[in-house]
Amino acid sequence: MKSIMQTLTVGLGDRSYPIHIGSGLLPQAELLKPHIPRKRVAIVTNTTVAPLYLAQLQQTLESIGVTSISVILPDGEVYKTSDTLNLIYDALLQNRCERSTPLIALGGGVIGDMTGYAAATYLRGVPFIQIPTTLLSQVDSSVGGKTGINHPLGKNMIGAFYQPRVVLADTDTLNTLPDNELAAGMAEVIKYGLIRDLPFLEWLEHNMDALLARNTTALQYAIARSCQNKADVVAADERETGERALLNLGHTFGHAIESGMGYGNWLHGEAVAAGTVMAADLSRRLGWITDADVARVREVLVRAHLPVISPDLGVEKYMGYMGLDKKVEAGKIRFVLLQSIGRAVVYGDAPAALLEATLKACVE
């Protein structure tokens, strides 16, 4: 089936921006042109994505008379650091990039988050364009303006809210994505169903095989529906003073797994999946959902080829990392939990004994 481009909008007043989703978008210069004020851009990518898509993007830009400098970073979550961020600043300064020079992130969430933070801070802010090339970045990280880097003591601890001017999600780029990375993105797709969109969860339960087989129509539908959910949440609560925190289902546990296992050893989406099972387990212990609900959560994640058992870091280590979570308030860890399947809440009063039971029961 032929796919047609869909365009959604993140509604943020005069900072509103389009998300274009579809196949064959990378060669379409007119989608980028309105967001490039002068005839020069800086593309930030990595050693894996550059050989795949950099020349194509450069060609698209050249077709509208735009020249580019390229910053090619090492690949991996382990490089989402201040040292790597400095490589971006070095290149921008060496090439005398100006306030009107947009930064284009070409890659997954690691490149998107770091490039966005560089755009937010270089010369106190330059235009930013997202061209996400992983499922995870197309459904989540490229939308909503969270940018940043990791700190050895905690994930994504340094950053800024800084919105892109446009998001270009070309589904063709997913054809080169390894299977485990596609699965990792599915964890964030499933998240939208679990927290606020039960009909979407049901659709995912019926269409998981088509998604994993990379059926273009199914993928485009899942990406657009995910982005619509995210756009709605971000438009209502850009700076996460309320509802946006729900997008962190599984992330408090998941970030502890990522930090505790060493960045890059568990993919972000894998850690979120195992963390989502922990959140479901804790919700059940609170009496909010049933055993059958927890089984349903596990089942959809297993069908997406995601891990549902967390590593046994020990209760103390989990508590240490989770105590650094950005949702902590007055020293209390606030979890995103399920009141029912399709409805999440933020909850800071989970009894210590129940939390400890979850941290012991969901690990191996």
Catalytic residue among 80, 251, 285, 298: 251
Q: Is 144 in the site for ligand GLY (CB under 6 A)?
A: yes
Active site (annotated) includes residue 268: yes
Helix (H) or strand (E) holding 17: strand 17-22
Report the partner that residue 244 touches, choosing among ligand NAD, ligand GLY, none (CB closer than 5 to 8 A by kind): ligand GLY
Q: What mask, x for binding ligand NAD by CB under 6 A, covers residues 141 to 180? A: x--x-x---------x----------------x--xx---
Active site (annotated) includes residue 230: yes
Active site (annotated) includes residue 146: yes
Which amino acid is located at 65 in the chain?
Answer: G
Q: Is 244 in the site for ligand GLY (CB under 6 A)?
A: yes
Report the partner that residue 136 touches, choosing among ligand NAD, ligand GLY, none (CB closer than 5 to 8 A by kind): ligand NAD
Spatial distance between the Cα atoms of 240 and 131, rounded to a whole number of angstroms: 24
Which of 70, 115, 130, 137 contacts ligand NAD by CB under 6 A?
A: 137
Active site (annotated) includes residue 38: no
Q: Minimum distance from CB of 98 to ligand NAD (Å)? A: 26
The per-residue DSSP string of 199-255 comes to: HHHHHHHHHHHHHHTT-HHHHHHHHHHHHHHHHHHHHH-TT-SSGGGGGGTTHHHHH
Spatial distance between the Cα atoms of 121 and 205, rounded to a whole number of angstroms: 41
Q: Is 325 in the site for ligand NAD (CB under 6 A)?
A: no
Which of 146, 268, 284, 334 contacts ligand GLY by CB under 6 A?
A: 146
Q: Minimum distance from CB of 276 to ligand GLY (Å)? A: 13
Does residue 81 come out as left (phi exceeding 0), alpha (psi in the -120 to 50 range) or beta? beta
Q: Is 52 in the site for ligand NAD (CB under 6 A)?
A: yes
Under 8 Å between Cβ of 112 and 105: yes
Under 8 Å between Cβ of 190 and 204: yes
Residues in the interface with ligand NAD (CB under 6 A) total 29
Q: How is residue 107 written in tokens?
A: 């890659």
197 or 240: CB nearest ligand NAD: 240
Residue with tokens 């795949």: 52
